[in-house]
Structure 1
Amino acid sequence: MSNEILRVGFPTNDEITVEEHFGHCEKFAVYTIENGNVVKKEILEAPEHAPGVFPRFIAANNINVVITGGMGQRAIDLIKANGGQVILGAAGKIDDVLGIYLQGSLYSKGSACAHHHHDHDDDHQCQH
């Protein structure tokens, strides 16, 4: 872990666990990390979900790293185009996942969700 200041964002609905699907979250838990230590935690209300809105929200809030269960390829590409990093395949309690990330042991696993932004069926399942 370098000495840079990072802002790490987690999509969440309950402020405790990582939301499985980036585009379905109601909030973002955002942690400011300095010298490997958490110096601030914020809960931000997510914008209304529409194509490209969440990546713009991530950039506007200076979030460098997004850790989530799954995300569509277009969102991944937009976040990376703005200099952000995306880690896929995360699950469980945000504090636990953040701890693993800060230890340098969290790696992206899984792949982008393959569906279109207008597919919001309750039975939709991303494979990650």
Structure 2
Amino acid sequence: MKIAVPMEGGLVCPHFGHAPEFLVVATDEDKPVAREVYENPGHEPGRLPRWLADLGVKTILAGGMGDRAVSLFKANGIRVCLGVSGPAEEVVDAFLSGRLEEGESLCDHQPGSVCGHGDGGCHH
């Protein structure tokens, strides 16, 4: 599985599409096996969901994003967890260990949780 986190200065960027770069972590049995940082290829409707799907990403851990982006990610088979903040590497580690708590979208495009678990935590 691959996990993507929008980053700015090593921290989770509060607005997904405006992140200057993305941390993409490949995992094997809930252990990180490879980490790469990619430059944002550009913020235009539909581009980032296709690009990340092409990279093999299955989960997005983000501060916030709009409804349309969430729908596009879901259409590409990518799970979205919002309301995440802090150092990107620590967020990935918390997700992999089942300790990551999600919250409200930080960019005010969408209220509430979109992770699909309904219990306030982003577990996998």
Deviation at 1:107, TM superposition (A): 4.0
Q: Distance in 2 between matches of 1:64 and 1:87?
A: 11
Give the paired residue count: 112
Aligned-partner residue type, residue 10 of structure 1: V
State the partner residue of 2:121. Answer: none
Q: With the length of structure 2 as denominator, give the TM-score of the two structures.
A: 0.82
Q: Distance in 2 between matches of 1:55 and 1:26?
A: 15
Deviation at 1:108, TM superposition (A): 3.2
Among all aligned residue pairs of Structure 1 and Structure 2, give the percentage whose two residues are the same amino acid: 34
State the partner residue of 2:95. Answer: 101
Deviation at 1:70, TM superposition (A): 0.2
Aligned-partner residue type, residue 76 of structure 1: V
Runs of 4+ in 1 over 3 A off after TM superposition: none
Bigger radius of gyration: 1
Aligned-partner residue type, residue 13 of structure 1: E
Aligned-partner residue type, residue 85 of structure 1: R
1:55 and 2:49 correspond = yes
State the partner residue of 2:84. Answer: 90
Residues 41-95 of structure 1: per-residue CA shift (max 9 Å, x gap): 0011111111111111111111111101000110101101111100000101012
1:11 and 2:9 correspond = no
Structure 2 unaligned residues grouped into runs of 5+: 114-124
1:66 and 2:75 correspond = no
Q: Distance in 1 between matches of 2:2 and 2:45?
A: 23
- Aligned-partner SS, 1:12: strand
Structure 1 unaligned residues grouped into runs of 5+: 1-5, 116-125
Q: Distance in 2 between matches of 1:58 and 1:113?
A: 23
- The Cα RMSD (Å) is 2.2
